[in-house]
A and B are shown apart, each in its own frame.
Chain A
Amino acid sequence: MTLMPDAVDSTCWVVIPLYNEATMIGGVVDELRTRFAHVVCVDDGSSDDSVAVAEAAGARVIRHPHNLGQGAALQTGISYALTHPSAEYIVTFDADGQHRLVDALAMLQRAREEDLAIVFGSRFLDDRTRPGFLKTIVLKTAVAVTNVSTGLTLTDAHNGLRVLRRDAAEGIELNQDRMAHATEIVVQLGRTRLAWAEHPVHVVYTDYSKAKGQSLLNSVNILVDLVIN
């Protein structure tokens, strides 16, 4: 199937876990909607205007009854997208504006052209993204743990930008409600033995996303969650 260069894609569903991102989600959805017909935000019990803002921007918002965690929201969004037979691909995207539309489009195109079931975004394949020193340690640790427990060799584990073909999306069932899902999803995708690739992406670190990002202490939580379960 070929697409016009700037056509709106209606076979790829964008899934965004949404939790208290009213300041950013409007712009994120607006931009995505220029190229994707289906943008699904999974509201994870936001207490701000996130839902109204996302709906106004044209997203389909589905809502958790209360806060369950980003992993749970991601799984709900993927399950929802899969109920629509038109969904050939699913793109997972962050709500805080740190991912770029051009990267998602490039990854999707690559998945189609190279017949890949999974394309992981990686901010460490080139040197455009510059996380701080501490953050680099956290992310590299996450990568090491992920690689040991999955057998895949990724350069970036906790990147929310991914492209999943339908068969890959059907192969996952996330149990980790909190941040450990980012490793769990790699584990489960690795088990599907489908073709995958990593694609260099640029992650935009603003003061806003820095304030919300992973802390060093939280990476301890991620490790414990993964080891115990």
Chain B
Amino acid sequence: MWFQIILVLALLGIAVYLLRSTPSPRHLAIRRLVMLVGILVGIVVIIWPDLLTVLAQLVGIGRGADLLFYVAIIIGLLYTVNEYKRSVRLARLNTRLAREITLTEARLNDRISELEARLDSGRRDASRSATE
């Protein structure tokens, strides 16, 4: 009984954390709704654990705990894939950003040395005309 209360509170805590993170497009809203449904199902299953076993037997898995285990693995995999894709995307953005910095610096240095060369030749001309 106590453990059930703790689990429900933990899931509610996750729900609050989820809903309070910064909002953006529809995609995010859908993901949050799915999460919310997941949490509600979680709460129901915690309060009536036998439901899980009924559900498990309905889909051909013996025990409710097994069903929970499989679902957890799938969610874990989904999460990993999502994170991997995200990190690839971020790495690409990072590369593009770093390249822009590199190219900007290079162009700037090219321009500076070009101007310096012009300044030098100007000075040389000036000193030559001064000695004449």
Binding site for B on A (CB under 8 A): 42, 60, 62-66, 68-69, 72, 75-76, 79-80, 83, 175, 177, 228-229
Residues of A within 8 A of B105 (CB): 62-63
Which one of B35-43, B63-71, B95-103 contacts A?
B95-103
State the total of A-B contacts with C-beta under 8 angstroms.
39
Q: Tell me which residues across on chain B come within 8 A of A68, comparing CB atoms.
A: 94-95, 98
Question: For the complex, is B51 an interface residue (Cβ under 8 Å from A)?
Answer: no
Q: Which residues of B contact A (CB under 8 A)?
A: 88, 91-92, 94-95, 98-99, 101-103, 105-107
> Which of B88, B91, B92, B103 interacts with A76 by CB under 8 Å?
B103
8 Å CB contact of A79 from B88, B91, B92, B103: B103
Q: Which residues of chain B come closer than 8 Å to A63, judged between CB atoms?
A: 102, 105
CB distance from B88 to the nearest CB of A (A): 7
Contacts of A229 in B (CB 8 A): 88
- Taking A64-B98, A64-B99, A68-B98 as given, write out 9 further A-B residue pairs in contact, using a Cβ cutoff of 8 Å, ordered by the A residue number: A65-B98, A65-B101, A75-B99, A76-B99, A76-B102, A80-B106, A83-B107, A177-B92, A228-B88
The one of B92, B103, B107 that contacts A175, using a Cβ cutoff of 8 Å? B92
Report yes or no: B106 in contact with A62, Cβ–Cβ below 8 A.
Answer: yes
Residue of B nearest to A84 (CB): B110
Q: A60 → chain B, closest Cβ, in Å?
A: 8
Cβ distance A128 to chain B, nearest Cβ, rounded Å = 36
Residue of B nearest to A71 (CB): B95
Separation of A62 and B100 alpha carbons in the complex (Å)? 12
Minimum distance in angstroms from B97 CB to a CB of chain A: 9
Inter-chain contacts of A228 with B (CB < 8 A): 88
A75 vs B106: C-alpha distance in the bound complex, in angstroms? Answer: 14
